[in-house]
Amino acid sequence: MIRRHLIPNAAAKPHHYHKPSLFSTSPPDITPPFIHKCKTVSQVKLIHGKLISCAILTLNRTSHLISTYISLGCSSSAVSLLRRFPPSDSGVYHWNSLIRFYGENGRFSESLSLFRLMHSLSWTPDNYTFPFVFKACGEISSVRAGASAHALSRVTGFNSNVFVGNGLVAMYTRCGCLGDARKVFDEMSVIGVWDVVSWNSIIESYAKLGKPKMAVEMLRRMTNEFYFRPDDITLVNVIPPCASLGAHSLGKQLHGYAIRSEIIENMFVGNCLVDMYAKCGMMDEANTVFSNMRLKDVVSWNVMVAGYSEVGRFDDVVRLFEEMREEKIKMDVVTWSAAISGYAQRGLGYEALGVFRQMLSSGVKPNEVTLISVLSGCASVGSLMHGKEIHCYAIKHPIDLCRNVHGDDNMVINQLIDMYAKCKEVDTARAMFDSVSPIDRDVVTWTVMIGGYSQHGDANKALKLFTEMFEQTRPNAFTISCALVACASLAALRVGKQIHAYALRNQKDAVPLFVSNCLIDMYAKCGDIGKGRFVFDSMTERNEVTWTSLMTGYGMHGYGEEALGIFDEMWKMGFKLDGVTLLVVLYACSHSGMIDEGMEYFNSMETDFGVTPGPEHYACMVDLLGRAGRLDAALRLIEEMPMDPPPVVWVALLSCCRIHRKVELGEYAAKKITELASNNDGSYTLLSNIYASTGRWKDVARVRSLMRHKGVKKRPGCSWVEGVKGTTTFFVGDKTHPRANEIYQVLSDHMQRIKDIGYVPEKDFALHDVDDEEKGDLLLDHSEKLALAYGILTISQGAAIRITKNLRVCGDCHTAFTYISRIIDHEIILRDSSRFHHFKNGMCSCKGYW
């Protein structure tokens, strides 16, 4: 009390202080504006100390001190000052400032700690406190803290404040609690405190938490029932839901409203509109909005790029990309990632890699999305080396293989598994798959591995994994289609049917188009083209792949007319016909012996369909002509090729030489294959068989020894037959089956019976797999014959016997099967590496073209 009136001693002034003016005066001059001029904490502390020593620390002065401390970020001093005072209404302001200060600096946990401290010191938060607190809870996604603050706001009666209510809705949204957000929103209506922000917040809730329909519905109620005028934030919240719903007419209305209300000037609204039109595939409209935007940022460009990329207008993607460079738009990680992914998705893997390098040199840091994009580029071109490089990059840089930008996904590791599998390193892929603990595997992890096995590894392993998967998770449409591909390659009709049934049982809406396409392919490759047609007929939507799949099916079953019919229809319907379509047509002609038609299509490829023939088309034509015995024409075609003939073309010629026993031409073709440094195991076997068929045994021995010398391994032929209890596989001369004796007995019985009706073994095929002289009974050993015998033994009368062979069927077996089909009560459906043969009543559907 006495010291209060003491005058500060001027001599106490610290000599090192550079602004003596502050201290050259007496206490009454230390006024608030003066204190606020302090630029450093130490200045404030000096004044603080002075005031204490003068005992003139009034509440009023303290208040200015506290706010100065807070504004300078020295919250500890502010807190220690606040703790000295009993709670008061005016003091709450300082707590609010403190809590806000931490929030503004992203220190949300500390913000909440202060709130708890304040509460424990018996201060009562007010309507300003809660919004800061809820914001902090939302930012750290803590429903616990949020809900307890919510409870406190009820106790204090501040929950009827519109700011508090809006803060709550936002908080629950950020915590992912849509129900709670909606509850708060509804409670607010009871006390009638809604404002535009409340509506914006609840719309945002639905938009962010995956309920676009409800977001749109809330917009309707906001405008139609409660007559609120949407503002720029409303539009930014509701246009993305329109985009994801494909609701372009509502989007257009909002666009119109934005123009009338001049909200269109807001760049964010513009970006949303561009994105909405782009996602609805309306690139012209998107471009109009984009061009009319006065202010654009990198996002405006990004959404345009993404839009063009989505609809496959890749030239426009590149154009925009170049324009961005010219206009010096600073590209961000999204721009680069989108460009990389655009290239990768078009199969332009090396271009994708090039863009990735440019990105690195531009200094923009790649993120998870960038890496998966560039990895998919590596996968698309099968570049293992680059893929490994990216893998190393991911390890060396702070990129979490098991986290995406949202922190909840295995994107990078899944993409790595996919990349390794597509680069034919299936075992490496599997090792990575195994390194992900089962609990962390998601449906994509399983799908890429199953897809890897079904396309580049062992389809049996794919199906095994598919079964294992059910222990942990359920397949999606992508998984299903991968499994169907595996069934198709194994001709596993039974499993294929089960998967088809599963897809039908578990469909939410319709079976997706691409799954149906896989089904057609699966049924066709499993020998049931009728069921493939059934799937085709029951589809409500078809694309070029659908039509091509059915056409391929008809082609490989020898239904040339039907295949050509499909092709004509496709053409009439205006489908884009590409190299693949044409190749399928040519093969259909080849498999049905339609030489003239094939020639006609081939000759008019460029003029009528605008497709330049590639090496595969030439190979197919060589096959077509050669098979028909027109080997000279085939050779002429090769010589007329505008490019250097690749090995496939010569292999096709060689295999025709085998059929027609043309030794010299065969040798010529084989020489070409060797010159092209292609160690094709099939070509050696073919050549050796040509020599064998003409009795040139020394040459046979020479080729065999050459193969041994060069380490060329002949792929072992094997056949499998689908039975009730699963699939049984036979190799050449296989005696490992428990019922081997019975199988051989059945086989020799049948062989004897067909000899009686005119079958003569074609001995030269015996050399297919052996190199000793015992040619006699060896024909009996062929895997397809063993499979057939097993089928006769186990499959019920009248049912088809379905056999699949990994190589081309041997000529003698083909003849034998034709005879056997006369004496057994089964249709024999044989799939070899090139097509289907349906043997029935002494006829084969291939009519000799195989």
Partner DNA sequence: CTAGGGTTAG
| Contacting DNA within 163-192 (CB under 7 A) | 163-164, 166-167, 170
DSSP per residue over 218-275, as a string?
A: HHHIIIIIT-PPP-HHHHHHHHHHHHHHT-HHHHHHHHHHHHHTTGGGSHHHHHHHHH
- Using CB under 7 A as the binding rule, the residues of this chain from 676 to 695 that contact DNA are none
Q: Which of 62, 75, 77, 96 binds DNA (CB under 7 A)?
A: 96
Q: What is the dihedral of CA 150, 154, 160, 163, to 10 degrees?
A: -30
- Using CB under 7 A as the binding rule, the residues of this chain from 217 to 236 that contact DNA are 231-234, 236
Q: Are strands 726-731 and 718-723 parallel, antiparallel or unpaired?
A: antiparallel
Q: Which of 74, 143, 196, 539 binds DNA (CB under 7 A)?
A: 196
A 10 A CB-CB count for 169 gives 26
Window contacting DNA (CB under 7 A); options: 54-62, 95-103, 530-538, 760-768: 95-103
Give the nearer residue to DNA in terms of CB position, either 480 or 766: 480
Give the nearer residue to DNA in terms of CB position, either 162 or 611: 162
- Using CB under 7 A as the binding rule, the residues of this chain from 253 to 292 that contact DNA are 266-269, 271-272, 275, 279
Window contacting DNA (CB under 7 A); options: 90-98, 116-124, 518-526, 708-716: 90-98
Give the nearer residue to DNA in terms of CB position, either 232 or 351: 232
Angle between helices 267-279 and 232-245 (to 10 degrees): 10
Give the nearer residue to DNA in terms of CB position, either 436 or 495: 436
Tokens of 382: 């099968």
Binding of DNA by 372 (CB under 7 A): yes
CA 481/CA 143 separation, integer angstroms: 40
Q: Are strands 828-831 and 843-844 parallel, antiparallel or unpaired?
A: unpaired
| Smallest separation (angstroms) from DNA to the CB of 823 | 51
Give the nearer residue to DNA in terms of CB position, either 371 or 686: 371
Window contacting DNA (CB under 7 A); options: 79-87, 364-372, 422-430, 569-577: 364-372
Give the nearer residue to DNA in terms of CB position, either 152 or 828: 152
Using a 10 angstrom Cβ sphere, with 0-12 exposed, 13-18 middle and 19 or more buried, the burial of residue 454 is buried
Give the nearer residue to DNA in terms of CB position, either 286 or 830: 286
- Using CB under 7 A as the binding rule, the residues of this chain from 424 to 443 that contact DNA are 442
Tokens of 486: 């595996």
How many C-alpha atoms does 737 have within 13 Å on its Cβ side? 21
| Smallest separation (angstroms) from DNA to the CB of 80 | 20
Helix spans in 73-128 (H):
75-83, 89-104, 108-120
Could you tell me the strand order of the sheet in which 843-844 lies?
726-731, 718-723, 801-805, 828-831, 836-840, 843-844
Amino acid of residue 199: W
CB 21 within 8 A of CB 72: no
CB 545 within 8 A of CB 521: no
Give the nearer residue to DNA in terms of CB position, either 47 or 164: 164
DSSP secondary structure letter of residue 608: I
Binding of DNA by 195 (CB under 7 A): yes
How many C-alpha atoms does 622 have within 13 Å on its Cβ side? 28
- Using CB under 7 A as the binding rule, the residues of this chain from 545 to 604 that contact DNA are none
Give the nearer residue to DNA in terms of CB position, either 359 or 491: 359
Per-residue contact flags (x/-) with DNA for residues 324 to 363, judged by CB under 7 A? --------xxx--xx--x---x------------------
- Using CB under 7 A as the binding rule, the residues of this chain from 382 to 411 that contact DNA are 404-406, 409-411
Binding of DNA by 418 (CB under 7 A): yes
- Using CB under 7 A as the binding rule, the residues of this chain from 727 to 786 that contact DNA are none
| Smallest separation (angstroms) from DNA to the CB of 333 | 6
| Smallest separation (angstroms) from DNA to the CB of 226 | 15
Give the nearer residue to DNA in terms of CB position, either 394 or 766: 394
- Using CB under 7 A as the binding rule, the residues of this chain from 448 to 467 that contact DNA are 448
Q: Over the Cα atoms of the chain, what is R_g?
A: 39
Binding of DNA by 97 (CB under 7 A): yes
Binding of DNA by 300 (CB under 7 A): yes
CA 64/CA 736 separation, integer angstroms: 95
| Smallest separation (angstroms) from DNA to the CB of 452 | 11
CA 522/CA 485 separation, integer angstroms: 7
The torsion region of residue 331 among left (phi > 0), alpha (psi -120 to 50) and beta comes to beta
| Smallest separation (angstroms) from DNA to the CB of 680 | 32
Binding of DNA by 481 (CB under 7 A): no
Count the residues of the shown chain that bind DNA, applying the rule CB under 7 A.
74
| Smallest separation (angstroms) from DNA to the CB of 167 | 5
Q: Which of 75, 205, 380, 415 binds DNA (CB under 7 A)?
A: 415
Q: What angle do CA 737, 741, 745 make, to 5 degrees?
A: 125
